[in-house]
Amino acid sequence: VHLVESGGGLVQPGGSLRLSCAASGRTFGSVALGWFRQAPGKEREFVAAIGWDHGRTAYGVSMEGRFIISRDNDKNTAYLQMNNLKPEDTAVYYCAVDVLDRVLGVAAEYDYWGQGIQVTVSA
């Protein structure tokens, strides 16, 4: 599975961004998709995950209510809508695939990873 993130960049505090994760190489509809992030000097942090059937989602504690994960299985693409962004959201964001479709918040349980994309929240 090959994953490519897009949509990152610089945004002011309170602003919004939508990240995309385009997948290829496997039946996209049968896997769970997750988003993680990593800031300099910090461990990789769970952001959100979604099951293949759209009905199961999970969010990291500081993201719930601000971030929304979604997916379009016809387009083999997952999305992360990020609203009311804060400086502490600054990080490299990664999408990942769990071939067992478990919707977990543990990075080690994911099988494939994108290269990551920078999100910077700053005035």
| DSSP character at residue 64 | B
Beta-carbon count within 10 A of 114 CB = 22
Query: Any idea of the CA torsion for 48, 88, 109, 20, to the nearest 10 degrees?
Result: 50
Using the predicted structure, report yes or no on whether residue 28 has a pLDDT greater than 90: no
Residues 72-79 have a mean pLDDT of 92
Identity at 81, one-letter amino acid code:
Q
* Ranges 24-28, 70-74, 76-80: which has the least confidence: 24-28
Name the residue among 116, 25, 27 with its Cα closest to residue 73: 27
